[in-house]
Structures are given as structure tokens and as C-alpha cells.
Structure 1
Amino acid sequence: MGRHGLDRAPPRARGPEGAGAPAPGGGTGRAKAVALIAAGAVLVAAIVTGALVLGDDGDGAETRTAPTSAPPAPNGPSATTPEASPSPSTSEPSADDPAVVEDQLNGVTFPLLDGWVRPQYVAQDDVVMTTDGTYDCPGGVGLCRHGLVFSRTVTENDEKSPEALAKADIKNAADEAYDRDTLGRELYGGIESHQQVESGPVAVAGRAGYLVRWRVRTAKGPGGYVQSLVFPSSVGTESPVLVRYVFDAGEDGPPLADMDRITKGIRPFGDADTGGGVGSSIGPPD
């Protein structure tokens, strides 16, 4: 009697590979087939494992057996690449004639002389051109420009005489340029004195106008020149047009003759040849 009191059958003989004896009915071929399938499965698993372990072939190419769960790459360039960084904007060439500045309201153009530019970052209204660049004001506050030209329509009163309007405006032109600005600051330490250096009729864009020019001396800095020029507009109701000139004196200021060059170069829209007339030739003051 065997263990637990039960008789056991004698053990069956084992094959040479140690596999169990074949089942009744001649299952030897079937057993071999099963063994081959099992061996093939082991071989496939080994190949897959090797592919995963050796996925990087050293040349940067990566072999993957299935899609990864990593997020897709962004559609555009990375924010850290140079292409994604904003580049300085380049202004497009102006469609306007680079040699003139337009005052569309009053229907005239101004010549843009050497050293003069279209206004940029200018706080004052009605500026049509400035000298290039700024400097620290002599009064120790703010930034100043060596030259400005303004153009506006006179609407404050019914006066139509260019002479009367120019004479009435010149003091305001001096005060606003060299006494106190709109914030009440004395950019030049205030005006100490003024002297009239030029006045008289002048032809502007084929119209009879009038100008008055002052030399202004300030407490700080070299002072400057202001000029009020008035002429009838060539459009609409022909309202008077007031052009103010503000030129710093001294070697850093624009040439005083530029006042006359700009005045002679004012033209109506579409008429580049208009000009000349009584008083059109005005030499620089002594």
C-alpha cells in the first residue's frame, strides 16, 4: 500500500527530452507540434524584447512597436526657436512723395528739406515737420527739438487779413515755443526779450500772404526764431492758413534760410509749379 493507504500505479517511462509519455492514441506528433509552437512563442517574445531594448540604433532613428502617448508636436515653431521670436518691424516705403509733406485739410504740401523729417512722437498738435532728433531742454526739464513747423486753419475769429492775423499771432507763437509749454514748464528758462527782424507780404502757393518773424532770447540756451505766416487756403471757403516756424538759434539750430525755402516751396495739391509772386523772395534777416 502506498502513501495514504492507496495503491499507486508504476510510473510511466519518460522520453529522452524528459517530456511526459504520449497520451493513448499515438499523440507523439501532436506533442512535438505543441513544443514547437511554444518554442516559437518564446522566440517571438525574445525578438520583441530585444527590439524594445535596442530601439535606439545610435543614429537618432527610433523603432517603436506602437504609437506613443506623448503629446503631438505644436503646429508652429517652438517659442524658444529664433523663428518664434518677434523680429523688429520694418516700415514699408511710403506711397507719398518722400520730398514733400501733405496738409490735406488746407490743400497744400510742404517741401521736406535736408535735416527735416515727418513728425514722430510729437505731443503738439498740427506739426507738419520737425528737425531730426531731440535733446535735453536747456531748462533742465523735458526734451526739445531744434526746429518745428506747424500748419493750422484760423477759425477763432472772422478776421481774413493775412497781415492782421500774422501780427496778432506772433506773440503767441513766441510764448508757446520759448516761454512755457502746455504743462507750465519753462523749457528754456522763460523769454527775456524779443526783436522783430522781418515782416512783410509774401506769395504762398500763388496766394498773397504775410509773415512776421521775431528773434527771441531766453534765460537759458541760445533762444531762437519764431515766424507767423498767414495766407488764404486754396480749397473750400479759402479760410486763412497759419504756418508757424520755430527754429533754435545757434550752431545746432536749422539754417534760418530754411524758413524762406519752406515758404517758397509750399504748393497747392496737384500743382507743383505754383509759386512766386510779390514778396516771394525773402532773404534771411541780418
Structure 2
Amino acid sequence: MHRPVQRVGRAPRLTRILVSAAAVPVMLVAAGCSSDSGSGDDAKKSAGSSPDAKASASASANAVKPAAYAKLPEPCSVLSKKTLGELVPKGAKSGNEGKSDDVEARGNCYWSSLDNNGVQGSQYRWLNVALLRFDSDSRGEGDQLAHKYFEKQVKGAQSVTGAKSTKSQPVSGTGDEATAVSYDLKKKEGSFKQQTIVARVENVVITLDYNGAGLAGEKTPNAADLLKDAEKAAKEAVAAVSAANQDRGATSTSPSKSASPSKSASKSASPSKKS
């Protein structure tokens, strides 16, 4: 069965150069006389230009805002039974969670459904939801890192080998930003209608893949209907991410303006693909 390919990326170093102050010649006004006038000011200037003080100031300037979300929901629980019954009617209870070495940073779950009508053919559906969370670190804020990954995922969905009639469009009301990519893919089993929705909510990126096909002579499913169902599921997944962080006191719930995976998210979990 067709399962779409999952697309799952140092900041410039700052070099500090401390320049010592040039020595200023001292003019003696009168022999045998000396003065400590201004020594207090000089001490303050010296303290203010010390390496430790400069490092502290630099650290404050380079501080990044903490990521809004600290955890992910369980991947197989992001969609309601009702939604699963609509998208994968014969496989709503067959959720398979992918392996993850850090469940708070990445995870995925997939379902497959085969409505076998005997000699009249069968309707096949496959659904996958992948979650990837980004922490704020030395490379930037979590939502900015997530935005970059969001863009990478969209481009990946738009350039699948063998895809025909590829179309992209924004999806409203789904996180801070979301894009739907639709295309047709011909396989030996039949003609598949693929819908991929990539959504970002704060520092989390959700990639939802949903495809369907009519097998053994069964009618090919309507792409518009599949897209509508996929958009509904993506909205639920976004809501599940927010809900999972309510008890952890998310630092922000306002939409981010913009978004490479964090160190903890560089190894994204994804299901194995079969042609």
C-alpha cells in the first residue's frame, strides 16, 4: 500500500576581542606632588570593561524566550474516536505508535483501513500523524526553529517523486500556520489520492498524511472529501498539543510570528513506508 514519504535539519559563532585601553601618559604638575583624583572613576570603568562583565552582558543580550510547549500528547490519542471512524472506518482501533527515544520531543501514530467489498473491490485508507517539538536553545527560539522545519516539510510534500496534479493551499484556523498539499500518485495497487497537511502551533510541528484509493476496480475516492477530512483531523491534532500542555503551564498561548530541528528533535520518528 502507498504510504507517503515522511520529510523529517549552528548558528554563527560570535568572536569577542577584548581591546586593552591604551596607556595615557601622566604629567607631573609639580615635583613631589601627587593626586588620586579620578581614581574612583577609573576603577569603575575598569570593572565595567572586565571580561566577566562583558560576558554577562552578552549572555543577557543573547537570551532566548523559553519555548511555549514542553511536551507532546500521546500520538495515538490526538484524534477522537469519531474522527478516526470517519477517516479510517475499518481501522479506527488499529493505531500503531512509532518508536521514539524522546516522547516529549517527537512521536507518530498511523492507522490503516481496508473496506473489502469482495468482487466489487475495496476502499483503502491510510492515516499518519507525526509530531515534532522544538526547544529554545543557542540557535534560536523554539517557535522560530519550528517555523523553519514547517517550511521544509511543506517543500518536501510539494516535491514527492511521481506526484501528479500537485496543489497547495493555506489552511485557516489550524495553529499559527498550516498548509495543505494534495496530489495524485499512481501505484501498482491503484490510483492514490494523497493529502498532506503541515501545521505549526508555537514550537510544535504536526505533519498529517492521509491517502485513499479504490482497489480491485472500486471507484477512486474524491480528493476534495479526503482533504476536508484531513483538515478536520489536523485541527484536532493542534488542539491536542495545546491541551497536553495546559497542566504544565505553557509560557505562551499567543500565535508565533515565525519557525531546523532542535538537538532533541533532530531524529524524527516516522513509520516505515511500503509501496
TM-score by length of 2: 0.39
TM-score by length of 1: 0.38
Specify which structure has the higher proportion of helix.
Answer: 2
